[in-house]
C-alpha cells in the first residue's frame, strides 16, 4: 500500500510535467490544426533558460521560472511569425516538415553553446518528509502545485476571457473570425505565447527535478507529451491534461512493478490500445461536418 501511494505521488509529478507540455501541442493544434513538432525542443530551451538564470544571474526559483516563461514565449511567438505564418495556407505537410526543422535547429543551436550536459544549480533546498512510510519532497509538491495552478489559469483564460473566446472560435472556423472584428494573427500569437510558456514551465520544473540537462532532452519527452495530447484528444485542453497524467501513471507503475526496461514499451503499448478504442482520444470528438 505504501509503495502504491509512493508511486502515485511520483506518477503525479511526472504526469504534471507531461500534461504541461501536452497542453502546448494541443493548443497550437486546436487553432492551426498543425502539430508544432518543435515544442519538445522549446521545453528543452525552457530548461536552459532556467539554467542560465540560476547560473549566470544567480536568480532564485520564481524569477528563473518567469525568465524561462517569458524567454520561451518570445521565442515561440517569433517562430510562429517567421517560420509558420508564411505556410499557413500551404499544404499541412510543409508546416510539419518546417516544425521538425525548427526543432533540429533549436537542438543544434543549443549544442553550439553547450556541447556537454550541464548541471542546474540547486534552486530550492530539498526537504523530505516521511509520512507513514511515504517519502514526500518539497520539490514534488512544488512541481505538482505549480503545474496544477498553471492548468487552472489556462482553463480560466480559455473558458472565461474574451481572448479565450476568440481562441475557441478560431478552433471552430478561423476563416470567419476576422469578420467578427477579431485580429486573427494577434490571437494566434497569444496562443503560441501561452502554449510555449507552459512548455517552459515544464522545462523549468523538469530541470529542478532532474538537474542534468542537455540539448537533446526535449526529443523523447516531447514525443511522449505529444502522444499524451493525442490520447487525451488533440485540440482538447482538458484532454491534454488527462492524457499527460495517464502517461505519467502508466510509466511510473510499469517501472515500479516490472523490469524498468519495459517502461516505454508498455506505456506506449497501452496508449496505442487506448487509441484503437478511442481513435479521437479520450475527450476528442469527431468533427461534425460543416454544412
* Shortest distance (Å) from residue 216 CB to another protein: 38
* Shortest distance (Å) from residue 186 CB to another protein: 9
List own/partner pairs for 255-261 with CB under 8 A and 24 or more apart.
256/3, 256/7, 256/10
* Shortest distance (Å) from residue 7 CB to another protein: 37
* Shortest distance (Å) from residue 160 CB to another protein: 11
Give the residue with the Cβ less far from another protein, 175 or 260.
Answer: 175
Task: Return the number of other C-beta atoms located less than 10 Å from residue 86's C-beta.
Answer: 12
Give the residue with the Cβ less far from another protein, 167 or 207.
Answer: 167
Give the residue with the Cβ less far from another protein, 223 or 280.
Answer: 280
* Shortest distance (Å) from residue 102 CB to another protein: 26
Give the residue with the Cβ less far from another protein, 109 or 172.
Answer: 172
58: left (phi over 0), alpha (psi -120 to 50) or beta: left
Give the residue with the Cβ less far from another protein, 81 or 263.
Answer: 81
- Nearest-angstrom CA–CA distance, 60 and 62: 6
* Shortest distance (Å) from residue 21 CB to another protein: 24
Give the residue with the Cβ less far from another protein, 93 or 179.
Answer: 179
CB 236 within 8 A of CB 283: yes
Give the residue with the Cβ less far from another protein, 33 or 55.
Answer: 33
62: left (phi over 0), alpha (psi -120 to 50) or beta: alpha
DSSP β-bridge partners for residue 119: 212
* Shortest distance (Å) from residue 193 CB to another protein: 19
Give the residue with the Cβ less far from another protein, 167 or 205.
Answer: 167
* Shortest distance (Å) from residue 96 CB to another protein: 24
Length of the chain equals 291
Contacting positions for another protein (CB under 8 A):
162, 165-166, 168-169, 171-173, 175-176, 178-184, 288, 290-291
Amino acid at each position: 500500500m505504501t509503495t502504491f501511494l509512493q508511486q502515485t505521488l511520483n506518477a503525479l509529478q511526472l504526469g504534471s510535467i507531461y500534461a504541461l507540455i501536452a497542453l502546448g501541442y494541443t493548443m497550437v493544434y486546436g487553432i492551426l490544426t498543425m502539430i508544432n513538432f518543435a515544442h519538445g525542443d522549446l521545453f528543452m530551451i525552457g530548461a536552459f533558460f532556467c539554467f542560465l538564470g540560476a547560473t549566470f544571474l544567480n536568480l532564485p526559483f520564481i524569477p528563473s521560472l518567469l525568465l524561462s516563461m517569458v524567454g520561451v514565449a518570445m521565442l515561440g511567438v517569433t517562430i510562429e511569425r517567421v517560420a509558420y505564418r508564411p505556410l499557413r495556407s500551404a499544404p499541412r505537410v510543409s508546416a510539419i516538415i518546417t516544425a521538425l526543422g525548427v526543432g533540429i535547429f533549436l537542438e543544434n543551436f543549443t549544442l553550439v553553446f553547450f556541447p556537454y550536459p550541464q548541471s542546474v544549480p540547486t534552486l530550492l533546498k530539498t526537504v523530505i518528509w516521511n509520512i507513514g512510510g511515504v517519502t514526500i519532497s518539497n520539490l514534488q509538491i512544488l512541481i505538482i502545485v505549480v503545474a496544477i495552478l498553471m492548468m487552472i489559469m489556462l482553463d480560466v483564460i480559455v473558458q472565461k476571457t474574451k481572448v479565450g473566446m476568440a481562441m475557441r472560435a478560431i478552433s471552430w472556423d478561423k476563416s470567419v473570425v476576422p469578420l467578427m472584428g477579431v485580429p486573427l494573427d494577434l490571437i494566434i500569437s497569444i496562443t503560441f505565447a501561452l502554449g510555449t510558456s507552459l512548455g517552459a514551465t515544464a522545462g523549468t520544473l523538469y530541470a529542478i527535478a532532474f538537474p542534468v540537462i542537455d540539448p537533446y532532452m526535449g526529443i523523447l519527452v516531447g514525443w511522449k507529451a505529444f502522444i499524451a495530447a493525442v490520447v487525451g484528444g488533440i485540440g482538447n485542453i482538458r484532454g491534454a491534461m488527462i492524457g499527460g497524467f495517464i502517461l505519467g501513471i502508466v510509466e511510473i507503475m510499469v517501472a515500479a512493478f516490472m523490469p524498468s526496461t519495459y517502461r516505454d514499451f508498455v506505456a506506449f503499448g497501452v496508449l496505442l490500445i487506448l487509441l484503437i478504442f478511442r481513435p479521437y482520444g479520450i475527450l476528442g470528438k469527431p468533427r461534425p461536418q460543416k454544412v
